[in-house]
Amino acid sequence: EQQQIIALSEGRHLVLAPPGTGKTEMLAQRILWAVGHGVDPARMICLTFTIRAACNMQERINRRIHARLPLTIGNVHHFCAALLREQRWLPPAWSVIDEPTQRVFLEEVVAGWPAARRHLLLDSGGQLPVNELLAVCRHLRRRELAIPLELAGDPRGERVYRRVPDVMEELQQVYRRHKEAFHVLDFDDLLTYAYAFVVQQRRLPASALYTWVQVDEVQDLNPLQWAIIEGIQAPGAHGVYLGD
């Protein structure tokens, strides 16, 4: 069964298998098979959900070829960051902040507000629901960019937005300006802007679209990530998607 999947070269296929059955090794073998059969490595991409899995796959390929192929291997966020920089859609001086720093940036914004206004954002336990606030900011920014609701998420699903929508609208704007002042993007921004440029504005030239696509851990991808993956594929691209 694994050999049959390794030798696939056209069409789109979903492969489901339990953990520990060799999916990562199979993906590495597929890349080696494709290169050996004349597929251009520059038009190949292999995405997964975690950086660790991507590094594991890269190491397996390097051990067998003893060279670094010009193919793209990484998790979705890493790929979006690289794409934004390579295409010069992201200013070179800008950096990407991790989730803990993202929380700090939002907390700094709220700390600068008057106490009465900060109080409106607290949950029933008197705590600042940072994850919920970040989710609303993400939804609202994507709504500003006219990303479809099924991809952007609905801010009305969060309690704090239903309670104080006007305050949340203001918070999203101030949080975005705060990041811009420090020339940073967060992980949500990477997906948001990659989708805007790739799918909405179709800025990728045909020569930069991928003809051989492999995606691992597909059960963990969200609809926006799927839309980006669809947007980077050339017409008639071959794709294999693996999940637990």
* pLDDT tens-place string over residues 29-87: 998 899 899 999 999 999 987 788 788 878 887 777 766 678 898 899 999 999 999 99
Residue 187 has pLDDT above 80, yes or no: yes
Residue 165 has pLDDT above 70, yes or no: yes
pTM for this predicted structure: 0.92
Q: CB count, 10 Å around CB of 117? A: 13
Q: CB count, 10 Å around CB of 229? A: 21
Give me the pLDDT at residue 56, please.
81
pLDDT tier for residue 206 given thresholds of 50, 70 and 90: very high
* pLDDT tens-place string over residues 84-110: 999 999 888 999 999 999 999 999 999
